[in-house]
Amino acid sequence: MKRIFFRLFILSVVFYFFSSYKTYTLFEWDFVPLFNGENLESWVNVNCAPETWTVRDNMIICTGFPTGVLRTSKQYENFILELEWKHLHEKGNAGLFVHSDDITALGKPFTRSVECQIMDGNHGDVFAIHGARMTRDNEDPFDKIGWIRSFPTEHRAKPAGEWNHYRVESLDGKLTLAVNGKIVTRAFHANPRKGYICLESEGSEVHFKNIRLKELSGSSALPEQTAFKDRGFKSLYNGLDFRGWKSAKGKDSWEAKNWILGNNGIEENEQESILWSEGEFRNFKLIADWRLTAEPVAKSVPVIQYNGKQANDEKVLLTVPIRYAGEGGILIRGSNSLGISITSWPEGSGGIFGYREEGVFNSEVRKSSTPIAKNDNPNGTWNRFEITVIDDQVSVILNGEEVIKKATINNLPDHGPVGLRVIDFPIEFANIYVREL
């Protein structure tokens, strides 16, 4: 009889345990914390200032400035993710990204990913951003933009000052988002469907806590369905100020504009206004986004051929009319005269300026320093340089196309800082990352 009572007691304890469990935390022991409550170990500050993301009272505190992201150090594919978030002010904005790349997208402060909106008064949307793709499960009759965006079936978030709970389930490209205990949004065919998890900084203070994840089994994502893994890039610009940069004359012509670093182009001595990184590099890969922002003006410029020479007609040098919007460049290894050109000229950006003068360098150097093709995006839109420097060779990829292929450069300094150069019209820079090789 005692044995029977003991068994009934054990069964009643088990029944109470499971009946009192929240439905969305069944098998709680399978979840692991993504945040240890003490520091940002296992997280990577992608493009923000150090003070943007801090830890206090078992919470991740985000100031909201600059605009940017904090990501996990590990990629995930199939999982259940839970977290709590709280805005401090009305109309506060933030986000949760899944399946994210390691660094930010071209001309954006955010990564290619799928975002779960965390906005006071407008929460629960799930949408693909900056090159990611998905299939949404509902239509917005007022959508005039064509967003790839799923909208919540109901609004369940609590107002600013109160905690909200998100539960995201990712399984083989299908996503569901539950807000405060109920699924309200779905999406399908996510691509990438494996990547990093990010918290977003977007203009207002927000707090996060109880971030945990349960990995689920499933088929492995193909390389084409996987976000870029950590390539070792470190941001050179913190989005708030000029820490890590210096200039001979000062920084009057430069402005830290949130995630954008701009130059007004009106400095009389452009050499003295070059902005130099405090760090020095020898062999490295540099990513930098840039755009020409001035209203173009009419101008005639020389015709530079693919061999680096200026075109002529019976020894008369030829020029062509263009819509000119400015010039500048990325200087490497501390040289004022060696860099990668940003230009409105018709041969395109990405050439190595200072190495096309006849009589100074041989024809092979001039040819290898001239862009193979023009691959600039239209004036006013963002471009991305991927510059690789190894010993005395320089390669340049512009907007995904290699325009300089292992040009051998004479008199290249052994090492030195990276410089941002603006000659006449305004230029903006963003997403400046370096990886030492």
The partner residues of 215 in beta bridges, in order of sequence, read 79
Cβ-based neighbours of 313, under 8 Å, separated by 6 or more: none
Across the chain, mean pLDDT equals 90
Q: 3-state DSSP: the chain helix, strand, coil percent, rounded to 5? A: 10, 45, 45
Q: Which residues have CB under 8 Å from 66's CB, separation 6+? A: 47, 48, 49, 52, 109, 201, 238, 239, 240, 258, 259
- pLDDT tens digits, one per residue of 111-160: 999 999 999 988 999 999 999 999 999 877 666 666 789 999 999 999 99
- Within 13 Å, how many C-alpha atoms sit on residue 237's CB side? 31
Question: Does a cis peptide bond (omega within 30 degrees of 0) precede residue 192?
Answer: yes
Measured in degrees and rounded to the nearest 5, phi and psi for residue 54 equal -135, 175
Domain definitions of the chain by residue range: 24-230, 235-436
Which homologous superfamily does the CATH classification assign to the domain defined by 24-230?
Exo-inulinase; domain 1 (2.60.120.560)
User: What is the mean predicted confidence (pLDDT) over 345-368?
Assistant: 79
Question: What is the structure's pLDDT at 117?
Answer: 97
Per-residue pLDDT tens over the stretch 196-217: 999 999 999 999 999 999 999 9
Asked if 237 and 243 count as a contact pair (C-beta separation under 8 A), the reply is no
**How far from each other are the two terminal CA atoms of the chain, in whole angstroms?**
75
Q: Which CATH architecture group holds 235-436? A: Sandwich (2.60)
pLDDT, one tens digit per residue, over 420-436 is 999 999 999 999 999 99
- 235-436 shares the fold of 24-230: yes
pLDDT for residue 248 is more than 90: no
pLDDT at 338 over 70: yes
pLDDT score, position 15: 43
Query: Cα(331)–Cα(417) distance, rounded to whole angstroms?
Result: 8
